[in-house]
A and B are shown apart, each in its own frame.
Chain A
Amino acid sequence: KFRRNTTWSVKLVPLEEIEFLREQIGQIHFVDDLFKYFLDTDDLHVADLEKDEKERCSDEMKKRDVLDYTEKNLNCEKDEIIEEASTLDRFPDEVLMKIISYLPVRDLILLRAVSRRLKRLTEFIITRIPKTLVVTKDTLIHSIMYTGMLFPNICTLVIDNEQSAVSTSPPSLSLKLADVFGVMKGKLNTIKRLIIRGNDYSYGDGMCKYIKSLETLKLESLELPNPFLNPILNSCKQLRKITFKRVIDIYSSLKLPREKDDRIVYAFYIARRPRRWPKTEYLLFARG
Protein backbone atom coordinates (compact mmCIF):
# COMPACT_ATOMS: atom_id res chain seq x y z
CA LYS A 1 0.00 0.00 0.00
CA PHE A 2 2.80 2.38 0.88
CA ARG A 3 4.84 1.53 -2.19
CA ARG A 4 2.05 2.54 -4.52
CA ASN A 5 1.55 5.92 -2.95
CA THR A 6 4.63 8.04 -3.40
CA THR A 7 3.27 11.04 -1.51
CA TRP A 8 3.29 9.17 1.80
CA SER A 9 6.30 9.08 3.99
CA VAL A 10 7.09 7.07 7.08
CA LYS A 11 8.51 8.82 10.09
CA LEU A 12 9.98 7.57 13.34
CA VAL A 13 8.27 9.29 16.24
CA PRO A 14 9.93 9.78 19.64
CA LEU A 15 8.13 8.21 22.56
CA GLU A 16 7.70 11.59 24.30
CA GLU A 17 5.87 12.93 21.28
CA ILE A 18 3.57 9.92 21.23
CA GLU A 19 2.81 10.42 24.91
CA PHE A 20 2.13 14.12 24.31
CA LEU A 21 -0.24 13.27 21.46
CA ARG A 22 -1.93 10.63 23.55
CA GLU A 23 -2.70 13.29 26.16
CA GLN A 24 -4.00 15.65 23.49
CA ILE A 25 -6.10 13.17 21.60
CA GLY A 26 -7.26 10.95 24.43
CA GLN A 27 -7.51 7.21 24.34
CA ILE A 28 -10.30 6.95 21.77
CA HIS A 29 -9.05 5.38 18.54
CA PHE A 30 -5.62 6.59 19.46
CA VAL A 31 -3.69 4.39 17.05
CA ASP A 32 -5.95 5.28 14.12
CA ASP A 33 -5.56 8.97 14.85
CA LEU A 34 -1.82 8.64 15.18
CA PHE A 35 -1.60 6.99 11.79
CA LYS A 36 -3.80 9.65 10.24
CA TYR A 37 -1.61 12.30 11.80
CA PHE A 38 1.66 10.96 10.48
CA LEU A 39 0.53 9.23 7.30
CA ASP A 40 -1.71 11.79 5.76
CA THR A 41 -2.46 11.55 2.06
CA ASP A 42 -2.60 15.30 2.12
CA ASP A 43 1.18 15.72 1.91
CA LEU A 44 0.93 19.28 3.19
CA HIS A 45 0.41 17.90 6.63
CA VAL A 46 3.54 15.76 6.49
CA ALA A 47 5.39 18.69 4.99
CA ASP A 48 4.31 20.83 7.97
CA LEU A 49 5.77 18.37 10.43
CA GLU A 50 9.00 18.02 8.52
CA LYS A 51 9.30 21.77 8.22
CA ASP A 52 8.82 22.25 11.96
CA GLU A 53 11.52 19.72 12.70
CA LYS A 54 13.93 21.27 10.25
CA GLU A 55 13.36 24.71 11.75
CA ARG A 56 14.29 23.41 15.13
CA CYS A 57 17.39 21.57 13.99
CA SER A 58 19.26 23.73 11.55
CA ASP A 59 20.04 27.43 11.24
CA GLU A 60 20.78 27.03 7.57
CA MET A 61 17.39 25.57 7.01
CA LYS A 62 15.91 28.54 8.82
CA LYS A 63 17.55 30.91 6.35
CA ARG A 64 16.30 28.84 3.44
CA ASP A 65 12.81 28.83 4.92
CA VAL A 66 12.88 32.62 5.09
CA LEU A 67 13.78 32.73 1.40
CA ASP A 68 11.07 30.18 0.59
CA TYR A 69 8.63 32.22 2.59
CA THR A 70 9.49 35.38 0.67
CA GLU A 71 9.00 33.57 -2.61
CA LYS A 72 5.68 32.17 -1.43
CA ASN A 73 4.56 35.62 -0.43
CA LEU A 74 5.38 36.90 -3.87
CA ASN A 75 3.35 34.09 -5.34
CA CYS A 76 0.35 35.14 -3.32
CA GLU A 77 -1.84 38.05 -4.18
CA LYS A 78 -0.04 41.26 -4.94
CA ASP A 79 -1.68 43.22 -2.18
CA GLU A 80 -0.85 40.53 0.36
CA ILE A 81 2.82 41.42 0.82
CA ILE A 82 2.90 41.98 4.53
CA GLU A 83 6.03 43.10 6.23
CA GLU A 84 4.75 43.70 9.71
CA ALA A 85 4.24 40.89 12.20
CA SER A 86 1.01 38.96 12.05
CA THR A 87 -1.66 39.84 14.62
CA LEU A 88 -1.90 36.26 15.75
CA ASP A 89 1.82 35.68 16.23
CA ARG A 90 1.70 36.61 19.90
CA PHE A 91 -1.02 34.08 20.66
CA PRO A 92 -0.04 30.54 21.65
CA ASP A 93 -1.73 27.62 19.89
CA GLU A 94 -3.97 26.87 22.89
CA VAL A 95 -5.56 30.33 22.81
CA LEU A 96 -6.07 30.24 19.07
CA MET A 97 -7.64 26.80 19.33
CA LYS A 98 -10.06 28.10 21.92
CA ILE A 99 -11.06 30.94 19.60
CA ILE A 100 -11.39 28.63 16.60
CA SER A 101 -13.48 26.14 18.54
CA TYR A 102 -16.25 28.77 18.76
CA LEU A 103 -16.49 29.10 14.99
CA PRO A 104 -19.21 27.41 12.92
CA VAL A 105 -18.38 24.81 10.29
CA ARG A 106 -18.34 27.13 7.30
CA ASP A 107 -15.85 29.47 8.92
CA LEU A 108 -13.63 26.55 9.90
CA ILE A 109 -13.41 25.57 6.24
CA LEU A 110 -12.55 29.13 5.19
CA LEU A 111 -9.97 29.55 7.91
CA ARG A 112 -7.92 26.68 6.50
CA ALA A 113 -6.92 28.82 3.56
CA VAL A 114 -5.74 31.77 5.65
CA SER A 115 -2.34 30.50 6.77
CA ARG A 116 -0.41 27.32 7.45
CA ARG A 117 -0.71 27.72 11.19
CA LEU A 118 -4.45 28.30 11.13
CA LYS A 119 -4.84 25.36 8.76
CA ARG A 120 -2.98 23.06 11.15
CA LEU A 121 -5.05 24.21 14.14
CA THR A 122 -8.36 24.10 12.27
CA GLU A 123 -7.73 20.59 10.98
CA PHE A 124 -6.78 19.48 14.47
CA ILE A 125 -10.15 20.74 15.69
CA ILE A 126 -12.07 19.19 12.79
CA THR A 127 -10.48 15.76 12.96
CA ARG A 128 -9.44 15.18 16.53
CA ILE A 129 -11.47 17.17 19.02
CA PRO A 130 -14.60 15.18 20.00
CA LYS A 131 -17.64 16.79 18.46
CA THR A 132 -21.19 17.01 19.80
CA LEU A 133 -23.96 16.83 17.21
CA VAL A 134 -27.23 18.33 18.38
CA VAL A 135 -30.35 17.51 16.35
CA THR A 136 -33.37 19.64 17.23
CA LYS A 137 -36.79 20.13 15.66
CA ASP A 138 -35.37 22.67 13.23
CA THR A 139 -32.31 20.71 12.13
CA LEU A 140 -32.33 19.85 8.45
CA ILE A 141 -31.33 16.39 7.30
CA HIS A 142 -28.66 17.89 5.01
CA SER A 143 -27.05 19.64 7.93
CA ILE A 144 -26.68 16.31 9.77
CA MET A 145 -25.26 14.68 6.66
CA TYR A 146 -22.64 17.38 6.13
CA THR A 147 -21.64 17.41 9.79
CA GLY A 148 -21.14 13.65 9.57
CA MET A 149 -19.02 14.03 6.45
CA LEU A 150 -16.83 16.76 7.92
CA PHE A 151 -16.24 15.62 11.48
CA PRO A 152 -14.88 12.08 11.78
CA ASN A 153 -14.95 12.17 15.58
CA ILE A 154 -18.56 12.72 16.65
CA CYS A 155 -18.55 11.64 20.26
CA THR A 156 -21.93 12.80 21.52
CA LEU A 157 -25.26 12.74 19.70
CA VAL A 158 -28.19 14.68 21.15
CA ILE A 159 -31.58 14.17 19.52
CA ASP A 160 -33.80 16.73 21.15
CA ASN A 161 -37.32 17.09 19.85
CA GLU A 162 -38.56 18.89 22.92
CA GLN A 163 -36.91 22.26 22.76
CA SER A 164 -36.01 24.54 19.96
CA ALA A 165 -34.62 28.05 20.17
CA VAL A 166 -36.67 29.50 17.32
CA SER A 167 -39.28 27.20 15.91
CA THR A 168 -39.37 27.74 12.17
CA SER A 169 -40.74 24.40 11.03
CA PRO A 170 -44.01 22.69 11.88
CA PRO A 171 -43.65 19.73 14.27
CA SER A 172 -44.64 17.29 11.52
CA LEU A 173 -41.34 18.02 9.76
CA SER A 174 -39.17 17.18 12.77
CA LEU A 175 -36.78 14.32 12.18
CA LYS A 176 -37.53 10.82 13.33
CA LEU A 177 -34.90 8.63 14.94
CA ALA A 178 -34.80 6.42 11.83
CA ASP A 179 -34.04 9.47 9.62
CA VAL A 180 -31.09 10.57 11.74
CA PHE A 181 -29.59 7.09 11.97
CA GLY A 182 -30.32 6.40 8.31
CA VAL A 183 -28.24 9.41 7.24
CA MET A 184 -25.43 8.92 9.75
CA LYS A 185 -25.06 5.11 9.51
CA GLY A 186 -21.31 4.63 9.09
CA LYS A 187 -20.41 7.74 11.12
CA LEU A 188 -21.86 6.51 14.37
CA ASN A 189 -19.22 4.04 15.45
CA THR A 190 -17.39 6.78 17.39
CA ILE A 191 -20.40 7.79 19.47
CA LYS A 192 -19.92 7.38 23.20
CA ARG A 193 -22.91 9.32 24.48
CA LEU A 194 -26.42 9.30 23.11
CA ILE A 195 -29.18 11.52 24.46
CA ILE A 196 -32.69 11.10 23.06
CA ARG A 197 -35.27 13.58 24.28
CA GLY A 198 -38.94 13.50 23.35
CA ASN A 199 -38.63 11.45 20.19
CA ASP A 200 -40.31 8.33 18.90
CA TYR A 201 -38.21 5.38 20.08
CA SER A 202 -39.81 2.78 17.78
CA TYR A 203 -36.58 2.60 15.72
CA GLY A 204 -34.58 1.85 18.89
CA ASP A 205 -33.75 -1.74 17.97
CA GLY A 206 -32.58 -0.75 14.49
CA MET A 207 -30.21 1.91 15.76
CA CYS A 208 -28.41 -0.47 18.13
CA LYS A 209 -26.25 -2.03 15.44
CA TYR A 210 -24.73 1.37 14.49
CA ILE A 211 -23.65 2.52 17.93
CA LYS A 212 -21.35 -0.25 19.10
CA SER A 213 -19.03 2.06 21.10
CA LEU A 214 -21.87 3.59 23.11
CA GLU A 215 -21.01 4.08 26.77
CA THR A 216 -23.80 6.31 28.07
CA LEU A 217 -27.45 6.38 27.05
CA LYS A 218 -29.90 8.97 28.31
CA LEU A 219 -33.59 8.69 27.48
CA GLU A 220 -35.98 11.49 28.33
CA SER A 221 -39.71 12.11 27.81
CA LEU A 222 -40.46 9.20 25.52
CA GLU A 223 -42.26 5.89 25.41
CA LEU A 224 -40.18 2.74 25.25
CA PRO A 225 -41.19 -0.39 23.35
CA ASN A 226 -41.64 -3.51 25.43
CA PRO A 227 -38.45 -5.53 24.78
CA PHE A 228 -36.29 -2.45 25.13
CA LEU A 229 -33.28 -3.42 27.14
CA ASN A 230 -32.09 -6.68 25.58
CA PRO A 231 -31.33 -5.42 22.03
CA ILE A 232 -29.35 -2.43 23.23
CA LEU A 233 -27.36 -4.33 25.84
CA ASN A 234 -26.56 -7.13 23.41
CA SER A 235 -25.33 -4.73 20.70
CA CYS A 236 -23.53 -2.14 22.83
CA LYS A 237 -21.03 -4.12 24.86
CA GLN A 238 -19.38 -0.96 26.23
CA LEU A 239 -22.60 0.45 27.67
CA ARG A 240 -22.04 1.41 31.29
CA LYS A 241 -24.83 3.77 32.17
CA ILE A 242 -28.44 4.25 31.18
CA THR A 243 -30.41 7.18 32.52
CA PHE A 244 -34.19 7.44 32.31
CA LYS A 245 -36.11 10.64 32.87
CA ARG A 246 -39.85 11.11 32.44
CA VAL A 247 -40.13 7.80 30.55
CA ILE A 248 -43.73 6.72 30.08
CA ASP A 249 -44.59 3.48 31.87
CA ILE A 250 -40.99 2.52 32.56
CA TYR A 251 -42.04 -0.35 34.80
CA SER A 252 -43.67 -2.41 32.09
CA SER A 253 -40.90 -1.55 29.57
CA LEU A 254 -38.24 -2.93 31.87
CA LYS A 255 -40.54 -5.53 33.44
CA LEU A 256 -39.83 -4.12 36.88
CA PRO A 257 -41.91 -4.59 39.99
CA ARG A 258 -43.42 -1.31 41.17
CA GLU A 259 -41.64 -0.12 44.29
CA LYS A 260 -41.71 3.14 46.18
CA ASP A 261 -37.96 3.55 46.19
CA ASP A 262 -36.66 3.44 42.63
CA ARG A 263 -33.06 2.88 43.69
CA ILE A 264 -33.92 -0.41 45.37
CA VAL A 265 -35.65 -1.59 42.21
CA TYR A 266 -32.76 -1.09 39.85
CA ALA A 267 -30.16 -2.43 42.28
CA PHE A 268 -32.23 -5.57 42.55
CA TYR A 269 -32.68 -5.76 38.80
CA ILE A 270 -28.98 -5.62 37.95
CA ALA A 271 -28.00 -7.96 40.76
CA ARG A 272 -30.15 -10.66 39.25
CA ARG A 273 -28.34 -10.56 35.91
CA PRO A 274 -24.64 -10.08 36.57
CA ARG A 275 -23.42 -12.51 33.92
CA ARG A 276 -25.44 -11.29 31.00
CA TRP A 277 -24.42 -7.65 31.20
CA PRO A 278 -21.11 -7.59 33.03
CA LYS A 279 -20.20 -4.08 31.84
CA THR A 280 -23.44 -2.46 32.93
CA GLU A 281 -22.75 -0.87 36.27
CA TYR A 282 -25.99 0.87 37.02
CA LEU A 283 -29.24 2.17 35.71
CA LEU A 284 -30.62 5.48 36.89
CA PHE A 285 -34.23 6.44 37.28
CA ALA A 286 -35.95 9.75 37.66
CA ARG A 287 -39.57 9.76 38.60
CA GLY A 288 -42.04 11.81 36.61
Chain B
Amino acid sequence: MSAIKFETSDGFTIQVERETAVVSKVVKNFLEYHPTDKCTFHLNCVDNATLRKVVEWMRHHKDDAYIETESDESDEERSQDVSIEMDPWDANFLNEDLFFLLDILNAANFMKIKVLFKNCCKKIYLMSKGKSSVEIKRLLKERCDFTDEDLQRIANKYEWMARVN
Protein backbone atom coordinates (compact mmCIF):
# COMPACT_ATOMS: atom_id res chain seq x y z
CA MET B 1 0.00 0.00 0.00
CA SER B 2 1.43 3.35 -1.01
CA ALA B 3 1.66 6.11 1.56
CA ILE B 4 1.64 9.89 1.44
CA LYS B 5 3.67 12.01 3.83
CA PHE B 6 2.65 15.35 5.21
CA GLU B 7 5.25 17.68 6.71
CA THR B 8 3.84 20.16 9.19
CA SER B 9 4.89 23.73 9.90
CA ASP B 10 6.54 22.66 13.19
CA GLY B 11 8.73 20.07 11.50
CA PHE B 12 6.80 16.83 12.14
CA THR B 13 6.12 14.29 9.41
CA ILE B 14 2.94 12.24 9.37
CA GLN B 15 2.48 9.26 7.10
CA VAL B 16 -1.03 8.67 5.80
CA GLU B 17 -2.37 5.86 3.65
CA ARG B 18 -3.24 6.92 0.12
CA GLU B 19 -6.99 6.18 0.42
CA THR B 20 -7.20 8.58 3.33
CA ALA B 21 -4.97 11.26 1.83
CA VAL B 22 -7.05 11.59 -1.34
CA VAL B 23 -9.94 12.98 0.71
CA SER B 24 -7.93 16.18 0.39
CA LYS B 25 -8.54 17.64 -3.03
CA VAL B 26 -5.03 19.03 -3.21
CA VAL B 27 -3.57 15.55 -2.82
CA LYS B 28 -6.12 13.99 -5.14
CA ASN B 29 -5.49 16.50 -7.93
CA PHE B 30 -1.74 16.19 -7.53
CA LEU B 31 -1.80 12.39 -7.71
CA GLU B 32 -4.04 12.46 -10.75
CA TYR B 33 -1.52 14.46 -12.72
CA HIS B 34 1.64 13.02 -11.13
CA PRO B 35 0.97 9.36 -10.31
CA THR B 36 3.52 8.26 -7.73
CA ASP B 37 3.74 5.89 -4.77
CA LYS B 38 5.69 8.16 -2.48
CA CYS B 39 5.49 11.89 -2.12
CA THR B 40 5.64 14.50 0.63
CA PHE B 41 3.36 17.50 0.98
CA HIS B 42 4.69 20.49 2.92
CA LEU B 43 1.89 22.12 4.86
CA ASN B 44 3.30 25.50 5.82
CA CYS B 45 0.29 26.74 7.76
CA VAL B 46 -0.76 23.51 9.51
CA ASP B 47 0.82 22.34 12.76
CA ASN B 48 1.18 18.79 14.06
CA ALA B 49 -1.81 18.73 16.42
CA THR B 50 -4.13 20.18 13.79
CA LEU B 51 -2.98 17.80 11.09
CA ARG B 52 -3.49 14.79 13.38
CA LYS B 53 -7.04 15.94 13.98
CA VAL B 54 -7.66 16.51 10.28
CA VAL B 55 -6.23 13.09 9.40
CA GLU B 56 -8.55 11.50 11.97
CA TRP B 57 -11.49 13.15 10.20
CA MET B 58 -10.19 12.04 6.80
CA ARG B 59 -9.85 8.42 8.01
CA HIS B 60 -13.43 8.43 9.25
CA HIS B 61 -14.81 9.84 6.01
CA LYS B 62 -12.57 8.18 3.43
CA ASP B 63 -15.32 5.81 2.24
CA ASP B 64 -18.12 8.38 2.12
CA ALA B 65 -19.57 8.81 -1.34
CA TYR B 66 -20.45 12.48 -0.88
CA ILE B 67 -16.82 13.33 -0.19
CA GLU B 68 -15.91 11.85 -3.57
CA THR B 69 -18.57 13.77 -5.47
CA GLU B 70 -17.95 17.06 -3.70
CA SER B 71 -17.31 19.59 -6.47
CA ASP B 72 -16.30 23.22 -6.58
CA GLU B 73 -19.62 24.88 -6.06
CA SER B 74 -20.33 28.48 -6.90
CA ASP B 75 -21.23 31.12 -4.34
CA GLU B 76 -24.75 31.01 -5.64
CA GLU B 77 -25.09 27.29 -4.99
CA ARG B 78 -23.49 27.68 -1.58
CA SER B 79 -25.96 30.34 -0.58
CA GLN B 80 -28.73 27.81 -1.12
CA ASP B 81 -27.15 25.44 1.34
CA VAL B 82 -28.67 27.02 4.39
CA SER B 83 -29.01 23.91 6.52
CA ILE B 84 -26.95 23.85 9.69
CA GLU B 85 -27.52 20.17 10.30
CA MET B 86 -24.38 18.15 10.80
CA ASP B 87 -23.46 14.51 11.02
CA PRO B 88 -23.55 13.63 14.77
CA TRP B 89 -20.03 12.16 14.62
CA ASP B 90 -18.75 15.38 13.07
CA ALA B 91 -20.59 17.51 15.63
CA ASN B 92 -18.94 15.56 18.43
CA PHE B 93 -15.57 15.52 16.67
CA LEU B 94 -15.58 19.31 16.34
CA ASN B 95 -16.38 19.95 19.99
CA GLU B 96 -13.16 21.92 20.43
CA ASP B 97 -12.34 25.42 21.54
CA LEU B 98 -12.64 28.18 18.98
CA PHE B 99 -8.92 28.62 18.35
CA PHE B 100 -8.35 24.97 17.57
CA LEU B 101 -11.48 24.99 15.43
CA LEU B 102 -10.09 27.91 13.44
CA ASP B 103 -6.83 25.99 12.99
CA ILE B 104 -8.78 23.01 11.64
CA LEU B 105 -10.74 25.32 9.36
CA ASN B 106 -7.56 26.87 8.05
CA ALA B 107 -6.09 23.42 7.41
CA ALA B 108 -9.28 22.28 5.66
CA ASN B 109 -9.13 25.33 3.44
CA PHE B 110 -5.44 24.79 2.69
CA MET B 111 -5.93 21.10 1.91
CA LYS B 112 -9.22 21.73 0.12
CA ILE B 113 -11.43 19.45 2.21
CA LYS B 114 -14.75 21.09 1.52
CA VAL B 115 -17.01 19.09 3.82
CA LEU B 116 -14.74 19.62 6.81
CA PHE B 117 -14.51 23.33 5.96
CA LYS B 118 -18.29 23.60 5.78
CA ASN B 119 -18.75 21.77 9.06
CA CYS B 120 -16.22 24.00 10.82
CA CYS B 121 -18.09 27.06 9.49
CA LYS B 122 -21.36 25.67 10.80
CA LYS B 123 -19.79 24.93 14.17
CA ILE B 124 -18.40 28.46 14.43
CA TYR B 125 -21.80 29.81 13.45
CA LEU B 126 -23.42 27.76 16.23
CA MET B 127 -20.87 29.14 18.71
CA SER B 128 -21.54 32.75 17.73
CA LYS B 129 -25.28 32.40 17.18
CA GLY B 130 -27.35 34.89 19.15
CA LYS B 131 -24.32 36.84 20.37
CA SER B 132 -24.00 40.61 20.13
CA SER B 133 -21.18 42.43 18.31
CA VAL B 134 -19.31 42.97 21.59
CA GLU B 135 -19.61 39.30 22.53
CA ILE B 136 -18.38 38.22 19.09
CA LYS B 137 -15.53 40.69 19.42
CA ARG B 138 -14.52 39.09 22.72
CA LEU B 139 -14.93 35.59 21.33
CA LEU B 140 -12.67 36.30 18.36
CA LYS B 141 -10.32 38.61 20.27
CA GLU B 142 -10.74 40.96 17.34
CA ARG B 143 -9.33 44.47 17.66
CA CYS B 144 -11.94 47.15 17.99
CA ASP B 145 -10.68 49.78 15.56
CA PHE B 146 -13.86 51.85 15.51
CA THR B 147 -14.57 55.06 17.33
CA ASP B 148 -17.90 55.56 19.05
CA GLU B 149 -19.00 57.75 16.15
CA ASP B 150 -18.17 55.00 13.68
CA LEU B 151 -20.11 52.47 15.72
CA GLN B 152 -23.10 54.81 15.90
CA ARG B 153 -23.01 55.31 12.14
CA ILE B 154 -22.81 51.55 11.54
CA ALA B 155 -25.74 50.97 13.88
CA ASN B 156 -27.77 53.66 12.11
CA LYS B 157 -27.23 52.30 8.63
CA TYR B 158 -29.41 49.22 9.12
CA GLU B 159 -31.26 50.57 12.10
CA TRP B 160 -34.54 49.14 10.82
CA MET B 161 -33.05 45.63 11.08
CA ALA B 162 -32.75 45.96 14.85
CA ARG B 163 -36.50 46.43 15.10
CA VAL B 164 -37.20 43.28 13.12
CA ASN B 165 -37.83 40.26 15.24
Residues of A within 8 A of B (CB): 42, 44, 69, 72-73, 75-77, 80, 82, 84, 86-88, 90-91, 95, 98-99, 101-107, 109-116, 118-119, 129-132, 134, 142, 146, 149-150, 155-156, 158, 165
Other than the known A44-B153, A87-B142, what 4 A-B pairs have Cβ atoms closer than 8 Å? A42-B157, A80-B134, A87-B99, A112-B157
Residues of A near B129 (CB, < 8 A) are 107
Expressed in whole angstroms, the Cα–Cα distance for A33 and B50 within the complex equals 40
Expressed in whole angstroms, the Cα–Cα distance for A247 and B114 within the complex equals 36
Task: Choose among A76, A102, A103, A109 the residue that contacts B144 (Cβ–Cβ < 8 A).
Answer: A76
Task: Choose among A72, A98, A112 the residue that contacts B154 (Cβ–Cβ < 8 A).
Answer: A112
Task: Choose among A42, A88, A98, A101 the residue that contacts B142 (Cβ–Cβ < 8 A).
Answer: A88
Residue on A with the closest CB to B99? A87
Question: Smallest CB–CB gap between B96 and chain A, Å?
Answer: 14
Given A42-B153, A87-B102, A87-B142, A107 and B134 contact (CB-CB distance below 8 Å): no
CB-based closest 6 A-B pairs: A113-B133, A76-B144, A102-B121, A115-B142, A132-B79, A116-B145
Question: Smallest CB–CB gap between B35 and chain A, Å?
Answer: 30
Residue B160, interface by CB 8 Å: yes
Question: Smallest CB–CB gap between B162 and chain A, Å?
Answer: 8
Contact across chains for A107 and B128 when beta carbons are under 8 A apart: yes
Residue on A with the closest CB to B120? A99
Residues of A near B76 (CB, < 8 A) are 130, 132, 155-156
Interface-centre pick from A77, A91, A110 (highest chain B CB count, 10 A): A110
Residues of A near B151 (CB, < 8 A) are 113
Residues of A near B157 (CB, < 8 A) are 42, 112
Contact across chains for B80 and A132 when beta carbons are under 8 A apart: yes
Residue B6, interface by CB 8 Å: no
Contact across chains for A109 and B161 when beta carbons are under 8 A apart: yes
Residues of A near B131 (CB, < 8 A) are 110
Interface-centre pick from A90, A115, A149 (highest chain B CB count, 10 A): A115
Question: Smallest CB–CB gap between B39 and chain A, Å?
Answer: 26
Contact across chains for A86 and B142 when beta carbons are under 8 A apart: yes
Contact across chains for B136 and A95 when beta carbons are under 8 A apart: no
Residue on A with the closest CB to B81? A102
Residues B70-124 near A (CB distance < 8 A): 75-76, 78-80, 82-83, 98-99, 102, 105-106, 109, 117-118, 121-122, 124
Task: Choose among A91, A111, A115 the residue that contacts B145 (Cβ–Cβ < 8 A).
Answer: A115
Contact across chains for A73 and B121 when beta carbons are under 8 A apart: no
Expressed in whole angstroms, the Cα–Cα distance for A80 and B82 within the complex equals 33
User: 19 A-B Cβ contacts within 8 A?
Assistant: A42-B157, A44-B153, A69-B143, A72-B146, A75-B147, A75-B148, A76-B147, A76-B148, A88-B140, A91-B102, A95-B105, A107-B129, A110-B133, A114-B140, A114-B144, A115-B142, A134-B82, A155-B76, A158-B80
Given A90-B106, A142-B164, A113 and B155 contact (CB-CB distance below 8 Å): yes
Residue on B with the closest CB to A69? B145
Contact across chains for B143 and A87 when beta carbons are under 8 A apart: no
Contact across chains for A114 and B142 when beta carbons are under 8 A apart: yes
Question: Smallest CB–CB gap between B99 and chain A, Å?
Answer: 6
Contact across chains for A114 and B79 when beta carbons are under 8 A apart: no
Contact across chains for A72 and B147 when beta carbons are under 8 A apart: yes
Expressed in whole angstroms, the Cα–Cα distance for A129 and B136 within the complex equals 23
Given A87-B141, A101-B79, A150 and B117 contact (CB-CB distance below 8 Å): no
Residues of A near B109 (CB, < 8 A) are 95, 98
Expressed in whole angstroms, the Cα–Cα distance for A88 and B128 within the complex equals 14
Given A86-B142, A87-B142, A132-B80, A115 and B102 contact (CB-CB distance below 8 Å): no
Contact across chains for B143 and A115 when beta carbons are under 8 A apart: yes
Residue B125, interface by CB 8 Å: yes
Residues of B near A134 (CB, < 8 A) are 80, 82
Contact across chains for A98 and B117 when beta carbons are under 8 A apart: yes
